Amino acid sequence: MGVARNIDPTEWLAAEPDDDIRSELADLMATDPAEVARRFAEPLQFGTAGLRAAVGAGRNRMNRLVVRAAAAGVADYLLAHVAGAAESGIVVARDARRKSDLFAADTAAVCAARGLRVWWIDGAVPTPVLAHAVADTGAAAGVMVTASHNPPADNGYKVYLAGGAQIVAPVDAAIAEAIAAIDPTCVPMASLDDPLISDVPADVLSAYIERVAGVRHRLDVGAVPVAYTAMHGVGGDTVCAVFERAGLGQPHVVTSQFTPDGTFPTVAFPNPEEPGAMDAVIDLARTNGCSIAIANDPDADRLGVAIPTGDGEWRRLAGDEIGWLLADHVLEHTTGDDRLVVTTVVSSGLLARMASAYGVHHAETLTGFKWIARAIAERPHLRAVFAYEQALGYLVCPAPPDKDGISAAVMMAEIAAVAASEGVTIADRLAAIADRYGEHLLAERSVGTSVGHEAVAALVAHPPSTLGGHPVTDVTYLADAVLLRLTLAGGCRVQVRPSGTEPKVKIYAEGVGVDPGPAADEMAVLLRAHS
């Protein structure tokens, strides 16, 4: 889907408001016309993840002209399809990445120029704060300028609707159509002192801290030492405030990674899932005798965890392992047969066993928290007490229906405190879960490729008959998730899907009482052959 008309790079250059991006484009036009052609061949596509790309010049990069068109399209969609949107308005917030402040300011100015009330959050804040503010103000929508855990060169644009849930199909397509009708070079903008633009009330922001601090179930246990890193993101100050309010004291923080810095100078890839990303916080935890080490990604909607192994070493927990610990704690400390737990197709199957043991409802949905939110919304008669996706996203707060790495951090700190009060460790907790439900072993791999969809399609057409020495007993393709699921004899399951945000194919393997690693390794070889 393109814009309403083709735009010549020279015209784009004349409209570009930023000196650095203008210079970049001018240099490319003088030295690399082929690259200019690539930058203007197609616009940056708006989807269920909004926009996400490297900051730079051109139609398919993140820059102020692209953002202005996106803001205009979002505003036009709301005014046309959401009753009362002009009055209820839109919340605008941002992280601390390159140009996030300018992208957020332009979004506010464009929305106000179109007659939409704007609730403005001044300064860089975690993404969960934006989601809560959308719900608390009763806004029709929210925009968060963030690229989450993407590489430093990237920025992005996430859109939330009323209640603080991320957009899903068909809303994404309708917004994309509205954006396509916008000429990015001449989007009307209001002044930032326009009366339609006002700050989000302070009590909305303080209510977030109160609500998140209140997720604790065991106020009878005292705090244990916790090491924390914000990973150069925007979660640090909020985490410290929430921990203090929750009675957990102040965590030991990695000072070199505490202040927001969009260049991410001490981590190669600002994602707690990546090898090495949590090294600094693990070192801090070891030095200070901490019970647990935790990390937020740069916009603080995800949580990474590492634990001591008992031999002086530490290990990072897999996303599913964190999910098991949180689910076990929530289900043990809540009651009611109306409880609902939700996870995604690529997450472990253990949550379903937990739900059955506790007699609560369980739902499995497509990958991404936007689909978890939909699963919750489709069951209004049930009470969602927990949801997670294995990519370090967790919901432990009743609302809004989106992942929150800060409330999850509070609950993990409480889990560590409860374990300490009982004379056991987090590792002991995981062992007890395995004893009760069976040992679920995990193996994740990724294969870098720019043709992920094609590689998965090739496997769908010609699936293997064996993997890791085990016969394949069932082949299922979930088209909506672009996910191939292979069930193996002996208790293994291997799933593959192309990443929605990175040029790679992800492999998720799980075995109950059997190591899924060999099957995952063989699948990686097959994918490379098709890449």
Q: Which entry of 88, 148, 291, 347 is annotated as an active-site residue? A: 148
Separation between Cα atoms, residue 74 and residue 142, nearest integer Å: 10
Separation between Cα atoms, residue 10 and residue 513, nearest integer Å: 62
Phi-psi region of 312 (alpha: psi -120 to 50; beta: other; left: phi over 0): left
* Helices and strands: H and E segment counts in the chain: 18, 22
Spell out the long-range contacts of 81-88 with Cβ–Cβ below 8 A and sequence spacing 24 or more: 81/174, 82/140, 82/141, 82/161, 82/162, 84/140, 85/116, 85/140, 85/141, 86/115, 86/116, 86/117, 87/117, 88/117, 88/137, 88/138, 88/139, 88/140, 88/162
Q: Are strands 393-395 and 383-389 parallel, antiparallel or unpaired?
A: antiparallel
The secondary structure of residue 55, as a DSSP letter, is B
The secondary structure of residue 477, as a DSSP letter, is E
Query: CA 211, 213, 216 angle in degrees (round to 5)?
Result: 110
The secondary structure of residue 200, as a DSSP letter, is P
Residue 101 burial by Cβ neighbours in a 10 Å radius (0-12, 13-18, 19+): middle
DSSP output for 152-193: TTEEEEEEEETTTEEP-TTHHHHHHHHHHT--GGG-----TT
Structure tokens at 202: 């302070």
Query: CA 295, 301, 307 angle in degrees (round to 5)?
Result: 25
How far from each other are the two terminal CA atoms of the chain, in whole angstroms? 26
Structure tokens at 105: 């300011």
Q: Identify whether 148 is a catalytic site residue.
A: yes
CB 307 within 8 A of CB 329: no
CB 344 within 8 A of CB 389: yes
CB 130 within 8 A of CB 121: yes
CB 175 within 8 A of CB 80: no
Separation between Cα atoms, residue 206 and residue 440, nearest integer Å: 40
Task: Report cis status (omega within 30 of 0) of the bond before 400.
Answer: yes
Separation between Cα atoms, residue 54 and residue 151, nearest integer Å: 9
Residues with catalytic annotation?
A: 148
